[in-house]
Structure 1
Amino acid sequence: MKNPMTITEKVLAAHAGLEHVTPGDLIKVKVDLALANDITAPLAIRVFREIGKPKVFDRDKIALVADHFVPNKDILSAQQAKLMREFAQEQNIRHYYELGDGGVEHVILPEKGLVVPGDLVMGADSHTCTYGALGAFSTGVGSTDLGAVMATG
């Protein structure tokens, strides 16, 4: 008899299309949401472009939030915000938030209904695990990893 699964294992199994997972299993999952901010998005975008895909895996499953340097503190932060804004426009990303309609990324997403129990979220921010409080599996990943997620889901 298999051991009962934790909520984390249940979410991971569901997103891998498996009946059961156990610690140590290598699985491939589909994400419900990929998240980046004005600091982490520029590198993720560069990696996405290096992969060579013309479009993100799903424009409705990516959230880009300018929340670290709002308003921009200098030219570099303004350039990073501009790069993220232009990428969101180019890719027609629906969940793009900046000055005027933004705030702290980890507050905005649940408020907008973008993270709900049972979701699988990967974000290029170490605080992404916050969504575990909502019953989601969420983890922070590096910007290079997120670039791959934006390409493949």
Structure 2
Amino acid sequence: MTGSTISEKILAAHSGKDKVSPGEFLNVRVDLVMANDITAPIAIREFERIGVKSVFDPKRVVMVPDHFVPNKDIPSAEQAKLMRDFAWEQGVIYFEVGSGGIEHVLLPEQGLVLPGEVVVGADSHTCTYGALGAFATGMGSTDIACAMATGEIWMKVPP
């Protein structure tokens, strides 16, 4: 008999279970939801499309412009504006251009990612927070929209 992995322990704690098994599907509470200037606009449009009025907890949703900084053209500036307007409207954590940096460096530097937490982000490099003892995974923008709305995700426990 083997013990649980760190991922299994974190996912169990965030799904209200004593133990989880590889391959099991769970609803998991998230500690932090992150999006950037490329992925946030899609998530925001989906968030609005499903009719949700406010994020589950503004202190646990982070938006970082770091891909199109400075904006290279009008379409990228419009994406940045959509994200900025949504962040201000919702009161979420937002790092204005010039006050932040690269999202995956900035969040740990600001103490926003801690060991034992569940972090989801609309970016494939989100998993780097695993180095800090968090369970972290990248997701599509539509899943991020649902996480912003409910504070939960569904997932399959990794093997």
Q: Deviations over 1:48-96 (max 9, x none)?
A: 0111111001101100000001111110110000000000011011x10
TM-score (normalizing by structure 1): 0.96
User: Any residues of structure 2 matched to 1:118-129 within 5 Å, and which?
Assistant: 118-129=116-127
Which residue is equivalent to 1:112?
Answer: 110
TM-score (normalizing by structure 2): 0.93
User: Any residues of structure 2 matched to 1:1-153 within 5 Å, and which?
Assistant: 3-93=2-92, 95-153=93-151
Does the CA-based 8 Å contact 1:131-1:137 persist in structure 2?
yes
Q: Deviations over 1:82-111 (max 9, x none)?
A: 000000011011x10131111100000000
Does the CA-based 8 Å contact 1:115-1:131 persist in structure 2?
yes
Give ranges in structure 2 of 5+ residues lacking alignment.
152-159
Identity %: 64
More strand by share: 2
Q: How many residues align?
A: 151
Which residue is equivalent to 2:155?
Answer: none
Tell me how far 1:149 sits from its aligned partner. Answer: 0.7
RMSD: 0.8
Give ranges in structure 1 of 5+ residues lacking alignment.
none
Runs of 4+ in 1 over 4 A off after TM superposition: none
Q: Aligned partners of 1:139 and 1:34: how far apart in 2?
A: 10
Query: Which amino acid is 2:130 matched to?
Result: G
